[in-house]
Amino acid sequence: MPLHITSAEAAPVAVLHRGSSDNMHVVEIQGPGLSEFDVTVAPQPGEHFSRTIERLAKVLQGIDATVVRLIIFGSAKVRSAVLEILHQELRDPGLPVTWLEGEACDGADLAGVQVHAVRGGKIRTQPGGGQALARIWDDGLARHCVCNNVLSTQGFVSPAEQAREVFHRLQTSLADAGMELKDIARTWFYLNGILSWYDGFNRVRNEVFTESGIPAGGAPASTGIGAWNPAGRAVAALAWAVQPHDGKPVVEHLASPRQGPAAKYGSNFSRAVEVRGNGFRRLLVSGTASIAPDGRTEHIGDVQAQIGLSMQVVQAILASREMTLADVSRATAYLRSAEDAPLFTDWLAQRGLREFPAVSTRCDICRDDLLFEIELDAVLLEQ
């Protein structure tokens, strides 16, 4: 079925289109000389993974944009076949793929795929480690750099040592792009065996950020989730850095109206970050779970209540920026148990959000009493 554009909003500088069909969601922001796309696809019931990827490839071919971030949550057993289809259809030798063993909640081979793509802006590929490590573009207000699938080169050292090398590789990649760690607006850290070393990871991150002069109030938005990567490394990382031109601020670090600063319990990230574009604002909300303002886990053992509280926290952040869940362009829901996925689906359906652009996947969360976590992006045109 062809993708159907369900709505379009106009503004003096930017135009926003949203389309949804067959578990495929596309959000396009058209600006002067540059367009950005968030594409989310999940398998339809009973659909073979190859068909899902072929549908994604067809949409990406149609928008004729360069992929700057591509995250796949799926079984490693189909990885080679999926990558073969993508490379054959897209003909992008440096396709920046991050593959994570994120189990589908319905037993399928794929949970879903998320893509951020850009058309225009003189996109540049910066290779690293034999693959496309970074893609860089300019939107007129700022230079952007997305570093993809950053891994340690030494799998035999401790997880903490691997994490430190990952931060070093991020720093080197950004330096090659004329940027610094302090320019990072958003990070994703997928930790193998997260429950056994998340405190150690946080210590490394805190040390690196302190060494780099990044204050607690200026840390990136972030997700830290438990997921295995095919290289078998302790952590796979992605980062999105934004460097404004002429020192004019385009990035704002935000607090949560419903939760305290994460740094108070040893995890240095902002609850959300907003990035200003040409005629629009993009809100990047960190991984959000059922955590009280004082840092305690709420609703232990009650996944439905944890989903409800997590979504209330997210909605409060959105409302603080004059947004709602209808403005979401991409989301990932992480569930400790695949059997709980229908509860999140029901929560959305009860609020008329059946066409919500989310991938749901079974992953470990950073505490053994947390059963649900969600991250999301939202976009809104400036009036």
Q: Which two tokens stand for residue 144?
A: 């952007």
Burial label for 350, CB within 10 Å (0-12, 13-18, 19+), is exposed
Q: What is the mean pLDDT of the chain?
A: 93
Find, among 59, 162, 49, 193, the residue nearest to 111 by Cα.
49
CATH of the domain at 101: 3.30.1330.40
Q: Which two tokens stand for residue 77?
A: 């057993």
Q: Parallel, antiparallel, or unpaired: how do β-strands 272-276 and 280-289 relate?
A: antiparallel
pLDDT value, residue 93? 86
Given pLDDT bands bounded at 50, 70 and 90, which one contains residue 247? confident
| pLDDT greater than 60 at residue 214 | yes
pLDDT value, residue 269? 95
124-167 residue pLDDT tens: 998 865 555 899 999 999 999 999 999 999 889 999 999 999 99
| Tally: H helices and E strands in the chain | 6, 20
Which residues contact residue 346 at a Cβ distance below 8 angstroms, ignoring those fewer than 6 apart? none
Residue 28: domain span = 5-381
Tell me how many domains the chain contains. Answer: 1
Q: Fill in the amino acid letter for 45.
A: P
pLDDT value, residue 132? 59
Whole-number percent of the chain with pLDDT over 90 = 87
Q: Which two tokens stand for residue 142?
A: 């700022």
For the segment 196-210, the average pLDDT, to the nearest whole number, is 96
**Exposure class string for 57-88: b at 16+ Cβ within 10 A, else e:** bebbeebebbbbbbbbbbbeebbeebeebbee
Please tell me which residue, 133 or 236, carries the higher pLDDT value. Answer: 236
CB 23, CB 110: distance < 8 Å: no
Phi, psi of 78 (to 5 degrees): -105, 5
33-84 residue pLDDT tens: 899 999 999 999 999 999 999 999 999 999 999 999 999 999 999 999 999 9
Residues 371/217/261/372 CA torsion (nearest 10 deg): -10
CB 32, CB 278: distance < 8 Å: yes
Find, among 359, 356, 357, the residue nearest to 347 by Cα.
356
How far apart CA 167 and CA 345 sit, in angstroms, is 36
